[in-house]
Amino acid sequence: MENQKNEFVHYRTCNLCEAMCGVEITVKENKIHSIRGDKQDPFSQGHICPKAVALQDLYYDKDRVKHPLRRNGTTWQRISWDEAFDEVVQGIKKIQAKHGKSAVGVYTGNPIVHNYGSMLFGPMFFKSLHSRNHFAATSVDQLAHHFVGYFLYGHQLLLPVPDLKRTEFLIILGANPAVSNGSLMTAPDVAGHLKQIRKRGGKVILIDPRRTETSDLSDKHLFIRPGTDVFLLLAILQVIFAENLVRLGHLSQFTDKVDVINKLVKDFTPEKVESITGISATEIYNLARDFATAKTAVCYGRMGVSTQEFGAVCQWLINVINIVTGNLDREGGALFTLPAFDPVTAPDAIAPKGSFGRWHSRVRKLPEFAGELPVAAMAEEILTPGDKQIKALVTCAGNPVLSTPNGQQLDKALASLDFMVSIDFYINETTRHANIILPPTSSLEHDNYDLAFHLLAIHNTTKYSQALFNGDPDSRHDWEIFLELLTRMESDGVVSQLTSTIKHKVLKALGPAGLLDLGLRFGPYGAGLNPFSDKLSLSKLRSLPHGIDISALKPCLPERLQSKSKRIDLAPQPLVKDLERVKERFLSSTTNSNQLLLIGRRHLRSNNSWLHNSLRLVKGRSLCTLMINPVDAAKRQISNGQKVLVASRVGKVHITVEITDEIMPGVVSIPHGWGHNRDNVSLEVAKQHAGVSVNDLTDELAIDALIGTAAFNGVMVEVQAVADEITPQENMPLAKAVNG
């Protein structure tokens, strides 16, 4: 801890998004004086975005919960940790004794992967529940990538990363990396990288229903109708095969079923898909030819393609395009990382390899992947009576009421639970339903190591961040909360009490830092047990606060493949089968000029719902608007800045309109993570800048049927002008679905 001195500089990695920017925090008199980019960080080299300063806002936030709370109706009472742990474990055990193990569900949010203590200790506690009802933000985000990684490369975490530093041709689908700084492509200063690609004579092509901030950094932007990327990708492959542009290079030695792909894509000619996608056949031919003949090229797709009706097939086809053009495992193409702590080769208990369909959700029969069920099914599992109904829920670092489809339904479901516990330091739209809140320390109060994002980074580096401040003496880190819950869950009977006490002592002594040290020592650059080695260990990392530059990404196949055969099966059965669904949609596809399809969007100053209580990030013009094309606005006699009613099958919201030709005709956009207008939420700043929740419109029944990911992109909505001023109350969630 460095807070003994009056003035000092602290170096760490910002953990507010995936980009892993190094920050330099100057502290004077125990107060943060400034936060700047760390120029000596070998990975981010001084880059930060405006969100970095919010690190201090989270730390100083007066709404942050610092002690365990028990809810009595709509008020909260401070209780001791011991009471809280007792009540939580008793509550869970009571429900499980009466209704079975799976009557206790779990939801884990995205921030868990930004905290290595949670990542290492959370799964031990979740496992101790023996419940099959584990849901996570994965199924409203990157599940399609894990699914494809598992079936193509043998491990859900083997995800190829675009080699931004060397590529000559980059296709970006459904992503806005200029704002996100990359997702599943950890890349601080993406804007700088895109500029460099063009400076060295390369090309950047953006394909998106919205002309986003990334289009300003691209050579070309093509509008695409939401949810139709699958047809574009099939047509690109059709051209590559038909024009004999397939060049696998060294991949041909360990890649099977290339001929199967040829047959599967045959019918999807550019001419046939142009009216569905909105992209002309000429453009599709050019895309395929330019990509396949570029010196190096990489195709990358993110939220816009991952969270739609055919998300898994889209991510599969993106990989296939990279493979059949020889751009996988090639400098300038898509490469695998080799991080210092390598989750891919870590024990299954830390990073499971993956699994699919070992069990299904009770009500809708949606499949498990890697031990988790799709969160689109969570509310119905709580609300539908019967054997194995969820009666209690543990949430951790998540706000699914705002971030999962049909948030109103989930809100209602959470209110009906017999018991709920939230490991979270905010009373937000979700945790307000908890009976007990167990608040962990904030990120500046604990050390951190990016277990997940080094694995997804465009360059191999490694860095450990020490805690900046001591937490309150009565505070607990996430991992300590998980460990205590685990121990108490496992302490039934004399024998298990003894073993769990020993386990507790060993794990407490190790802590996440001890496990990290082991991972580093026995990782690819590690010192092993040799105390005199100058290779990697935690103590070496501690002595280098800016981190270590390891190497550029390198080709590593077939050695790094985790499939038993050490080969790539290019046409895995579940994905090939799902093409039948794609074909059905292809044949039944119609376009209705009156129909509006809803998509999300991301802003530089916002990240999901996490940062809306930071005044410096939310002040100024509201970011939560409905973007609509001038043609669609004129048809509905809507003027700029006017309030409109947006309605879907599941709900409606009133929102201010932003008329812009940034968005293609037939498409409207609302950013996600807003809607802080519910009762009993203790987020004062966020409430003043409430916005509306796009997930009061998204539909839990609209999913990628193969894997259950929510299909956020392309939700059918109606938009109409409303005459009167809307009061905040009118934006309250509706219990009743509208519009049939």
Binding residues for ligand SF4, rule: CB under 6 A, are 14, 16-17, 19-21, 48-49, 51-52, 181, 188
Fill in the DSSP letter of residue 579.
H
In this structure, what are the phi and psi dihedrals at residue 616, rounded to the nearest 5 degrees? -65, -20
- Taking the least distance from each CB to ligand SF4, the nearer of 110 and 406 is 110
Nearest distance from residue 448's CB to ligand SF4, in Å? 12
In this structure, what are the phi and psi dihedrals at residue 25, rounded to the nearest 5 degrees? -110, 120
Residue the block writes with tokens 């905040």? 728
Nearest distance from residue 52's CB to ligand SF4, in Å? 4
Nearest distance from residue 37's CB to ligand SF4, in Å? 8
Q: Which residues contact 577 (CB under 8 A, 6 or more apart)?
A: none
Taking alpha carbons only, the member of 625, 554, 97, 602 closest to residue 337 is 554
Nearest distance from residue 13's CB to ligand SF4, in Å? 7
Residue the block writes with tokens 């490694």? 462
Q: Structure tokens of 667?
A: 């498409």
Cβ burial 533-556 (10 Å sphere, 16+ → b, else e):
eeebbbebbeeebbbbebeebeee
CA distance 364 to 383: 13
User: How far is C-alpha 192 from the geometric centre of its chain's CA atoms?
Assistant: 23
User: Would you say 14 and 43 are in contact if contact means Cβ atoms under 8 Å apart?
Assistant: no
CA distance 91 to 664: 51
**Angle, CA 158 vertex, CA 315 and CA 446 arms, to 5°:** 110
For the beta carbon of residue 33, count every other beta carbon within 10 angstroms. Answer: 12
For every residue of 251-296, which 3-state class applies, written as one string? HHHCEECHHHHHHHHCCCCHHHHHHHHCCCHHHHHHHHHHHHHCCC
Q: Give helix then strand counts, H and E, for the chain.
A: 22, 30
Q: Label the pairing between strands 161-162 and 134-136.
A: unpaired
CA distance 601 to 618: 16
Complete edge-to-edge strand list for the sheet that includes strand 104-108: 75-78, 69-72, 436-438, 419-423, 392-396, 104-108, 134-136
Nearest distance from residue 181's CB to ligand SF4, in Å? 4
Residue the block writes with tokens 């892993």? 20
- Taking the least distance from each CB to ligand SF4, the nearer of 19 and 706 is 19
Q: What count of Cα atoms within 13 Å lies in the side-chain half-sphere of residue 702?
A: 23
Nearest distance from residue 668's CB to ligand SF4, in Å? 27
CA distance 89 to 127: 14
- Taking the least distance from each CB to ligand SF4, the nearer of 47 and 433 is 47
Nearest distance from residue 25's CB to ligand SF4, in Å? 12
- Taking the least distance from each CB to ligand SF4, the nearer of 49 and 390 is 49
Q: Which residues contact 199 (CB under 8 A, 6 or more apart)?
A: none
CA distance 37 to 16: 14
Nearest distance from residue 57's CB to ligand SF4, in Å? 12
Q: Structure tokens of 578?
A: 């799902």
- Taking the least distance from each CB to ligand SF4, the nearer of 53 and 379 is 53
User: Would you say 141 and 303 are in contact if contact means Cβ atoms under 8 Å apart?
Assistant: yes
Fill in the DSSP letter of residue 1.
-
Nearest distance from residue 450's CB to ligand SF4, in Å? 10
Nearest distance from residue 545's CB to ligand SF4, in Å? 17
Taking alpha carbons only, the member of 535, 175, 156 closest to residue 348 is 156
CA distance 287 to 293: 10
Nearest distance from residue 189's CB to ligand SF4, in Å? 8
CA distance 342 to 484: 27
Q: Structure tokens of 662?
A: 């940034």
Nearest distance from residue 605's CB to ligand SF4, in Å? 10
Taking alpha carbons only, the member of 143, 157, 138 closest to residue 561 is 157
User: Would you say 503 and 473 are in contact if contact means Cβ atoms under 8 Å apart?
Assistant: no
CA distance 715 to 667: 10
Nearest distance from residue 194's CB to ligand SF4, in Å? 15
User: How far is C-alpha 549 from the geometric centre of its chain's CA atoms?
Assistant: 26
- Taking the least distance from each CB to ligand SF4, the nearer of 16 and 144 is 16
| H helix or E strand, kind and range, residue 232 | helix 229-242
Using only C-alpha atoms, the chain has a radius of gyration, in whole angstroms, of 25
